[in-house]
Amino acid sequence: MSWTRRALAVAWKDLLIEWRSKETLNALLFFSLLLLFVFQFTLGPDRERLQAVLPGVLWLGFVLAALLGLGRTFLVEREHDCWEGLLLAPGDKSAIYLGKLASALALMLTVEALVLCLFAVFFNVDIWRALPGVALVLGLGTLGLASIGTLFAAMTSQVRARELLFPVLLLPVQVPVLLGSVKSTEALLLGEPLGAVSHWLGLLVAADAIYLVAGILTFDAVLEG
Amino acid sequence: MRVLGWLAVLGVAVGFAAGLAWAPREATQGEVQRIMYVHVPAVWVAYLAFGVVFVASVAYLWQRGAAADRLAHAAAEAGTLFLGLNIATGAIWGKPTWGTWWTWDARITSVSIVFVMFVGYLLLRRAVDDPKRGARYAAVIGIVAALNIPLVHFSVVWWRTLHQPPSLMKAGGATMPRAIVIALLINFVGFALTGAWFIAKRWRLLRAEAEAIA
C-alpha cells in the first residue's frame, strides 16, 4: 500500500468508528454547549463586557474541547486493544500520524463549526460578515492545535496520569497558536479586513508548518514500542 | 570534573565581586540594578542549555545513544533551574523598579511560557516507567519545545511589550559603561561554568542510576 493510501486508511477507520458510535462527537458537542452556559453565567448579561471578551471566550471553548477530544485520539486503540495493530502496520509510521491528524482535524472542525453557530445564536453575534476570515483562522489555528495534539496524545496515552500530562504539555506549546487565533478572530469580528491581521496569519502558517514537519519526522520514535 | 567545579566557584566569586564592588553604581536605578549580574547571565545560560537539549534530543533520535539522552535530561534540568532564577530575580528587581512583582510584559511572559514548557518536559520524564520509551518521548518533546521558543517569542512580542529593550545585544553596540559590561561578561562566564558543572554532575548521577538499575 502506498504512503497516501495508508494515511487515508487510518483516517477512514477513525472517522467510520466515530460516525457509527458518535461517542466523542456527541460528548464534545454537549460539553461545548455547557461551556457556553458557564461563560454566560460567569460573565453576566452586560453586553459591552461580553463583546470585549467574546473572541477569547470562543477560543477558550475550542481549547477545552480540543484538550478533551485530541487527548482521546489514541484511546480508541487502547480501549479496543488495537495498539499492537498500529505498531505492526508496515512502512513509515508518519502515514499513521497524518491519518490520525486528519481524523482529529475533521472531528475538531465539525465541533467548532457547530459551536460557532450556537455561539452566534446565544451571544447574538453577527458573524456572517466576518465568516470567510474567521473560517480561515479557525482552520489554521485548529491545524496547529491538532498537529501537536496528535503527536503528544500518542505519547501521553502510554504514560501515567495521562489526563493531567496532556494539557500540561500541550497548553504552553500552543501559546503562539492561541495568541494568533484569538487576536485575529478579535480583529475580524470587529470588521477589520484580513490584511490587518496578516502578520498573525503568517505566524499561524509558520507554526503549522513547523509542527507538521516536527510531527512527521518524530512520529516514528513515538510509535516504536 | 572537580576542576570544572572549582573553576565555576571561582568564576561566580570573581563575577560577584566585580558586580557588587567593582562595577559603578547605576545612576537612575541605584544599587538595585546590580541584580542584573545574576538576572541576565542566568537567562543566557538557560537558553544555551535549551540549545543543548535540542541538539542532544536530535542526536538521541538519530543514534539512540544513552549518553545523548542523559545530556538532554541534565541540560533541561539545569536550564529550567537557571530560567527559574532569572524569573525570580526579575520579580525581585521589578518590585522596587517598576513597582510590581509581576506584569504581563512580553519578555516576562515569553520566558515564563518557556519555563512551563520545560517543567512539562521534566514532568513527562518522571511519568514514563520504561526508560527507553521515556527517552524517546522526552526527545520528541524537547525538540518541539526548543523549536517553539522563537514562535513563543514573536507571538508574545506582538501581543504586547513594556520591558526595556535589551541593553547589550542590539544594533549600534552597547550603551552601558564598559565596567558594567565587563562585570556582566565575567558573571556570564561564571554562570556558564556553573551550568556546565551542574550538567556534568547530573549526567554522572543519571549514568550511575541507570547502572544501578541494570
Ordered by start, the domain boundaries in chain B are 2-19+34-164+175-213
**How far off is chain A from B38, nearest CA to CA, in Å?**
26
Going by pLDDT thresholds of 50, 70 and 90, the confidence category of residue B162 is: very low
Q: What's the rounded mean pLDDT across residues B172-184? A: 74
Does B116 reach chain A within 8 Å, measured CB to CB? yes
Contact B96, B28 (CB under 8 A): no
Task: Give the Cα separation of A167 and A147 in Å (integer).
Answer: 14
pLDDT surpasses 90 at B75:
yes
CA torsion angle for B46, B136, B140, A6 (degrees, to 10)?
180
Contact A104, A149 (CB under 8 A): yes
Quote the pLDDT of residue A223: 85
The more confidently predicted of residues A81 and A168 is A168
Contacts of B63 in chain A (CB under 8 A): none
How is residue B197 written as a grid cell? Answer: 558543572
Q: What's the rounded mean pLDDT across residues B157-172? A: 60
Which of these, A60, A65, A78, A77, lies nearest to A24 by C-alpha position?
A: A65
Does B20 reach chain A within 8 Å, measured CB to CB? no
CA A211 vs. chain centroid, Å, equals 13
For A161, phi and psi rounded to 5 degrees?
55, 45
Going by pLDDT thresholds of 50, 70 and 90, the confidence category of residue B48 is: very high
* Complex-level ipTM: 0.88
Task: Give the Cα separation of B52 and B55 in Å (integer).
Answer: 5
pLDDT surpasses 70 at B168:
no
Q: What is the pTM of this model?
A: 0.88
Question: Which among B133, B152, B154 has CB closest to A158?
Answer: B133
pLDDT surpasses 80 at B26:
no
Q: What's the rounded mean pLDDT across residues B29-57? A: 90
Q: What's the rounded mean pLDDT across residues A37-43? A: 84
Quote the pLDDT of residue B170: 53
How is residue A76 written as a grid cell? Answer: 480508541
Over residues B186-211, the pLDDT tens digits come to 889 999 999 999 999 999 999 998 89
Q: Which of B104, B151, B156 to mutate to test the interface with A (most CBs of A within 10 A)?
A: B151
pLDDT surpasses 60 at B167:
no
Over residues A155-195, the pLDDT tens digits come to 998 888 888 899 999 999 999 999 999 999 988 888 888 88
Q: What's the rounded mean pLDDT across residues A142-166? A: 91
How is residue B114 written as a grid cell? Answer: 518557556
Proportion of chain A above pLDDT 90, given as a percent: 39
pLDDT surpasses 60 at B169:
no
Domain count for chain A: 1
Start-end of H helices in A80-130: 83-88, 94-122
Which of these, B39, B145, B212, lies nearest to A210 by C-alpha position?
A: B145
Task: Give the Cα separation of A205 and A141 in Å (integer).
Answer: 9
Proportion of chain A above pLDDT 70, given as a percent: 100
Q: Give exposure, B19-51, as e/b (b: 16+ Cβ within 10 Å).
A: beeebeeeeeeeeebbbbbbbbbbbbbbbbbbe
The interface residues of chain B toward chain A in range 124-153, judged by CB-CB distance below 8 A, are 124, 127-129, 132-133, 136-137, 139-141, 143-145, 147-148, 151-152
Question: Which among A155, A175, A218 has CB closest to B61?
Answer: A218
Start-end of H helices in chain B: 2-17, 36-63, 66-98, 106-127, 131-159, 178-213
- The whole domain housing A38 covers 3-222
Residue B21 gets which letter from DSSP? I
Start-end of H helices in A44-174: 47-71, 75-79, 83-88, 94-122, 131-156, 162-173
Q: What's the rounded mean pLDDT across residues B111-136? A: 92
Going by pLDDT thresholds of 50, 70 and 90, the confidence category of residue B57 is: very high
Contacts of B150 in chain A (CB under 8 A): none
Over residues A93-134, the pLDDT tens digits come to 889 999 999 999 999 999 999 988 888 888 877 778 888 889
Q: Who's near A70: CB < 8 A, 6+ residues apart?
A: A104, A108, A145, A146, A149, A150, A153, A166, A170
